[in-house]
Amino acid sequence: MKIVYSPLHTKHHPPFEFRRGEKIPAFEIPDRVANIVETLRQRSFGEWIGPENMDLPLQKIHDSTYLQFLKEIYPRWHKAELDGDLVPYCWPPSTPIAGKEMPQDIFGQLGYFGGDADTPILAGTWEATYAAAACAATATKLISSGAEQVVFSLSRPPGHHAGKSRYAGYCFLNHAAIACEQLLEDGMEKVALLDIDYHHGDGSQAIFYDRSDVLFLSLHADPDYEYPFFSGRSHEEGIGKGKGYTKNYPLAIGTNWDTYRATLEQAITHIHDFQANALVISLGLDISERDLLGKFKLGDEVFGLLGEICANIALPSVIILEGGYAVQYLGGFTYDFLYHFEQTIMRLQ
């Protein structure tokens, strides 16, 4: 299987995040992907390639003011030679009147575009997330050209919480959404985006909420009890043309494999009904019971099973890494998923 990877992910290396007002070591760190690279290479798995130097459909997914903010905020901060970290502390209210205009102040803009205080912007954040988007788009090209049946984009930081004009949940650019857009641009008519990260892919949902060319499906922890709290409920099903093209499956804390598998099978029936031409998978490894943030009860064996189930959807597939924080296990989980995925498509052919 081809794996698209860029070492530029290491340019984004948050030192901390907040928990109950205290700074604690960050969960979303370069070691996550380092463990995956090391494990897959040790097991001689994958044909490794770098991202192509190509035009990315960023403007189709994100607003141009947001892209400009993301690119320029750190250099601007650095130039001002101020102290401290680029983390927002003040957010716009959700009233219809206030909060609509972008302030000029750096912290005003951080609150305007940023969704939470766990997602710092560092000197190399733009470079890292851009490289991750390029990995996703490169993987996509190999699928839309028909050269490959499945490609893995080893993207970091994750992307599925990033909205049109919003960074949050460790995410800045939405790499999975960029992959979907690239597939459509390359001539695919309908794309399914299946998000199996532990957290609801609120950014991906928002980006495609009013569209019928991308079917967004997400299995995730019930937002009543888990980040991102404010979306991912089962009644959210799209709007306008997009009505019926968003499907949410919130799951209880402690969900086991029987429930998870049955729910996934149900989601997959909608991918078939939709008659998708291609599949993008937002692969979160934080569904594991070993995860530091996730609270499902899913054992190590589920990753192989999931690889098999996803491959049996039998669509050209781009797999994109999202979360997963049990650092030393991530390589094993990824290997199991990809290996069983590949074995299954070989059997299908």
Question: Which lies closer to ligand OKP via its Cβ, residue 26 or residue 311?
Answer: 26
Tell me whether residue 197 or residue 342 sits nearer to ligand OKP (CB atom). Answer: 197
CA distances from residue 229 to 110, 200, 316 in whole angstroms, order as listed: 20, 9, 32
Phi, psi of 243 (to 5 degrees): -65, 125
1 contact partners, CB below 8 Å, separation of at least 6: 45, 46, 47, 150, 151, 152, 338, 341, 342
Query: How many whole angstroms separate alpha carbon 36 and alpha carbon 40?
Result: 6
Spatial neighbors of 129 by CB under 8 A, at least 6 apart, are 12, 70, 157, 159, 171, 172, 173, 175
Could you tell me the two tokens for 291?
């995860």
The interface mask with ligand OKP, positions 78-117, x = CB under 6 A, is: ----------------------------------------
Residue 241 in the binding site for ligand OKP (CB under 6 A): no
- Options 116, 286, 308, 342; binder of Zn ion; rule CB under 5 A: 286
What does DSSP say about strands 214-221 and 246-251: parallel, antiparallel, or unpaired? Answer: parallel
Binding segment toward ligand OKP, per CB under 6 A, in 15-23, 38-46, 176-184, 185-193: 15-23
Catalytic residue among 161, 175, 199, 340: 161
Given Zn ion, ligand OKP, none, residue 257, with its beta carbon under 5 to 8 Å by kind, binds none
161 is a catalytic site residue: yes
Candidates 115-123, 139-147, 195-203, 339-347; binding stretch for Zn ion (CB under 5 A): 195-203
Residue with tokens 């059997």: 347
Q: Kindly tell me which residue out of 113, 170, 333, 339 binds ligand OKP, with binding defined by CB under 6 A.
A: 170
Number of residues that bind ligand OKP (CB under 6 A): 16
What interhelical angle do 302-311 and 257-274 show, nearest 10?
Answer: 10
Which tokens hold the place of 267?
């989601």
Residues between 209 and 228 with contacts to ligand OKP, criterion CB under 6 A = 227
Pick the closer one to Zn ion by CB: 138 or 218: 218
CB 172, min distance to ligand OKP, A: 12
List the one residue from 250, 284, 304, 316 that touches Zn ion (CB under 5 A): 284
291 near ligand OKP (CB under 6 A): no
| Selection from 261, 38, 71, 46 nearest residue 151 by Cα | 46
Shortest CB 188 distance to ligand OKP, Å: 26
Distance CA 270, CA 266 (A): 7
Q: Interface with ligand OKP by CB under 6 A: which residues?
A: 17-19, 118, 158, 161, 169-170, 197, 199, 227, 284, 286, 293, 322-323
Active site residues: 161
